[in-house]
Amino acid sequence: MKFKQLVDIINKTHFSLQQRAVSAVNRNLTVRNWLIGFYIAEFEQKGEDRAKYGEKLLERIAEETKNIKGLSHRNLKLFRQFYFTYPQIGQTVSAQLQASDFKVLRELFEKTENSIQQIGQTLSAQSQLLENKGTIGVPPSELIGRLSFSQFTELIRLDDPLKRAFYEIEGIKGNWSVRELKRQITSFYFERSGLSKDKAKLSQYIQNRAIALSPKDVVQDPFFFEFLGLKDKDIIKENDLEQALLNNLQEFILELGHGFCFEARQKRITIGGEYFFIDLVFYHRTLKCHVLIELKVEEFNHVNLGQLNTYLNYYKKNEMQADDNLPVGILLCTDKNQSLVEYATAGMDNNLFISKYQVVLPAKEDLQRFIEDEIAKRNV
């Protein structure tokens, strides 16, 4: 064996087993979320004291399980919808519950009123019903083995079972990332395929240009992080330059003084059921407002400014206290040749306040100089 072959086999062994490890965790995450949705639905139908909780059931569960990251009211509602949309997954879950890997779960169920046999019978009955109906789409075992839960969250928004099956098949065939799945849904790939005379040619065209899923995509998935008990701040961006800039920018802002108080990095917010991450969040004691900073290692475009304004409007609606002023946003854009700083004010119409923050906040020139100096250090 030559040295190059040795290195090659080490690399292939690592990536192969890494992929299997990620797939195993993702599969367990999907099974857990489906089972939670199943338990909730069963309680709503058969729970002895279900009337006591009524519409507040999910809120009460979220409160009682707040020590488990990821079991928010929103997520519990999502898990229940996942169960109702994909009842056929019960075929695979039922088989897995009988496997030795789930010995702990079996022992747990045996101590409750709903024994493993009862749950298994319910799932088996549902599976038989689905088989008789002739459900369409990808086999359940392949669904939970090939799709991440974040992909399921996109698919359950589709009311048409045929459309959902189409994206299941195409997504699995191309090993799409979540972003790619969303892009194809919003670009009406299903509808375009229906209108296309040569569907196979369109499919080949789409797949050749699709962004494939990688282990890193799954590991950085918020649901994956919650399932493993990791924190949002543990999420690492891929771009080394962006990380370095953010590391030093945080210190740079704090060293300026002027009342800046660091609050969060990679602050996660939820808008319309979708996760977004704000690069840096400060609170300014003098201005009495939040300051949101977004860094884009690319040229300025209005999409970036629109995204920052969305974050500002979110803070205006959800994070502002009664005595706070409106939040301020700073957008930093850069490429190899230039840098640009834009301030966003979430619809401020108070000229006096705008004049005040222009004095207290860092000058555009200072921020541009900071970016250019940092890039120069890294010879980018």
The amino acid present at 31, given as its one-letter code, is V
Lowest mean pLDDT among 70-84, 167-181, 237-251, 277-291: 237-251
Across the range 102-113, mean pLDDT stands at 57
CA torsion 129-130-134-139 (nearest 10°) is -150
Across the range 49-66, mean pLDDT stands at 82
Domain ranges of the chain: 3-219, 232-377
Q: What percent of the chain has pLDDT over 70?
A: 72
Across the range 269-297, mean pLDDT stands at 83
pLDDT computed for residue 352 by the predictor: 46
Q: Which CATH architecture does the domain made up of 232-377 adopt?
A: 3-Layer(aba) Sandwich (3.40)
The answer to whether residue 29 scores a pLDDT higher than 60 is: yes
Beta bridge partners of 344: 329
The answer to whether residue 324 scores a pLDDT higher than 80 is: yes
Q: Which of 263, 267, 298, 264 is nearest to 371 (CA)?
A: 298
Q: Which residues lie below 8 Å from residue 156, measured CB to CB, with a gap of 6+?
A: 78, 81, 82, 85, 86, 164
If you write DSSP's letter for every residue of 258-279 in order, what string do you get?
TTEEEEEEEEEEEETTEEEEEE
Lowest mean pLDDT among 225-234, 314-323, 330-339, 370-379: 225-234
The answer to whether residue 238 scores a pLDDT higher than 60 is: no
pLDDT computed for residue 143 by the predictor: 87
CA distance 302 to 325: 25
CA distance 295 to 280: 9
Report residue 301: phi and psi, to 5°: -145, 160
